[in-house]
Each structure stands twice: as C-alpha cells, then as structure tokens.
C-alpha cells in the first residue's frame, strides 16, 4: 500500500507540473531516447517465497522529454514520459522444473529535479584548480541526470506450465542517473543509464508481491 501511494503521488506531481507548465525551447525537451539494457530482477515478498530469478535479463526503454520548469538561471525541473518492455523469467523453488514468465510493460514518468537548462558548458563558477573544478563538473553531470520515476505496468500475464494464467497490473517506482555526452547542442547524443526499479502488485489473497531490479542501459537520444 505504501509503495502504491508513493507511485501515485509521484505520478500526480508529474501530471500537475505538466498541466500548469509551459513548454520551453530547452535542450532536453523534445528528445526521444531509445535504450537497450540489462536488469537483475530479485523476487521478493510472497512471490519471492516461491520463485527465484534466473539471472540477468534484457529490457527496452523509451523516454521522451516533455517539459522543463525553470527555477533558476542554471537549473530547471524536467519531466519526461517513459514506456518499455521488461521480460522476466523466474524458477519455481518448489519443483525446480517449471518457471514463471511475464513481460512488464511500464508506462509512467520521470522527474529530473536538478537538470541543467543549457548543458554543462553554460554553468559558470570561479575556477579553483587542484582538480576541484573537475570534481564539481562531475558532480553536476551526475546531478543533471538524477531522476525519480513511477508508473504502472498494465495487463501483465504470469504464465507457468501446469498452472492457470494470472493477470496483474503492477505499479512501479524507482530512481536512477542518466548520463548524456557533453554535446547538448547535437541532435543525436549517446546515453548511459543506471538505477533501480521495483514492481509491486496485490495477490488474490490480499498479500503483496515484489520484483526489485538493478538496471543498466545504453542508448541514443535524438532531438526532434
């Protein structure tokens, strides 16, 4: 219940910001990111009592930059929509012969609270030297890519040989850091992303099940 409240609250926040904000001509808005990555899912709660992960599994993520909300000369809060495919396969701990298969189809949003409005090159500070400037640049690079995400994965069917199919619609939430190259003016950019994501759903017995993942993605970002 707490996880669901967090996901719904974050989605509501993103929706309200999108509704009241005006679109701006900032470098990250209007970008479509296509990323292919790997996830290491861990079954937890009730689901984890009966199933274990089969190891690293693939995933696909699409992200589209929607709106920037400027709050200083250097920073703006950025909102993006996300969608994807995340297949999973889990071994039955009891039989060790069958496996539960599912494909999550996440739909939701990402919120970047500390995104740079015009890239790293536009940030001005008094240079110090002794590698301090490089450290500050690296810190800003990470802060620029920090995000929170939330959403839902509608109509997920859990299939296992010898058992009836089960349909669930998990909610998900997570956080991560998206690192782009240092050329925000380019239409095509490279992207590296890492973070965590948790899917959670309610079982027929009113108990909860979870899948937690650490994820790494590589992709391309194109500005329309």
**pLDDT above 90 (res 129):** no
The whole-number pLDDT of residue 121 equals 65
Contact in structure between 165 and 102 (CB atoms under 8 Å):
no
Residue 170: predicted pLDDT: 96
Res 21: pLDDT: 45
43-74 confidence digits (pLDDT tens)? 998 999 999 998 899 999 999 999 888 888 88
Structural contact between residues 152 and 172, judged by C-beta atoms closer than 8 angstroms: yes
Q: Which residue(s) pair with 64 in the sheet?
A: 32, 81
Let me know: does 61 contact 84? Beta carbons within 8 Å: yes
Give residue-wise pLDDT tens across range 1-47.
544 554 555 555 555 544 444 444 445 778 899 999 999 999 998 99
HSE-CB of 50 using CA atoms within 13 angstroms:
8
159 beta partners? 101
Distance between CA 100 and CA 111 in Å, rounded?
32
Give the residue extent of every domain in the chain.
2-223
How many angstroms separate the CA atoms of 172 and 154, rounded?
11
Residue 101, exposed/middle/buried by CB under 10 A (0-12, 13-18, 19+)?
middle
Q: Tokens 């040989």, residue?
A: 161
CATH code for 2-223?
Answer: 2.40.160
**Cα radius of gyration rounded to whole Å, the chain:** 20
The 3-state DSSP class for residue 103 equals strand
d(CA 75, CA 39): 31
Provide, rounded to the nearest whole percent, the portion of the chain with pLDDT above 70: 83
């Amino acid at each position: 219940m707490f996880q669901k409240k967090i996901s719904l609250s974050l989605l509501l926040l993103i929706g309200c910001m999108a509704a009241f904000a005006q679109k701006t001509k900032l470098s990250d808005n209007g970008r479509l990111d296509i990323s292919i990555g790997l996830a290491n899912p861990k079954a937890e709660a009730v689901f984890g009592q009966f199933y274990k992960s089969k190891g690293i599994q693939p995933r696909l993520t699409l992200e589209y930059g929607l709106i920037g909300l400027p709050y200083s000369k250097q920073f703006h809060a950025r909102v993006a929509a996300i969608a994807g495919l995340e297949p999973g396969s889990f071994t039955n701990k009891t039989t060790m012969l069958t496996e539960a298969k599912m494909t999550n189809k996440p739909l939701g949003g990402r919120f970047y609270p500390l995104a740079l409005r015009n890239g790293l090159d536009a940030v001005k500070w008094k240079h110090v030297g002794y590698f301090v400037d490089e450290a500050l640049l690296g810190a800003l690079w990470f802060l620029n890519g920090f995000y929170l995400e939330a959403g839902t994965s509608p109509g997920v069917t859990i299939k296992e040989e010898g058992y009836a199919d089960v349909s669930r619609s998990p909610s998900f939430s997570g956080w991560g850091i998206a690192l782009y190259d240092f050329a925000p003016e380019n239409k095509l950019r490279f992207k590296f992303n890492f973070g965590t994501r948790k899917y959670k759903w309610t079982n027929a017995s009113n108990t909860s099940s979870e899948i937690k993942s650490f994820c790494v993605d590589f992709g391309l970002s194109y500005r329309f």
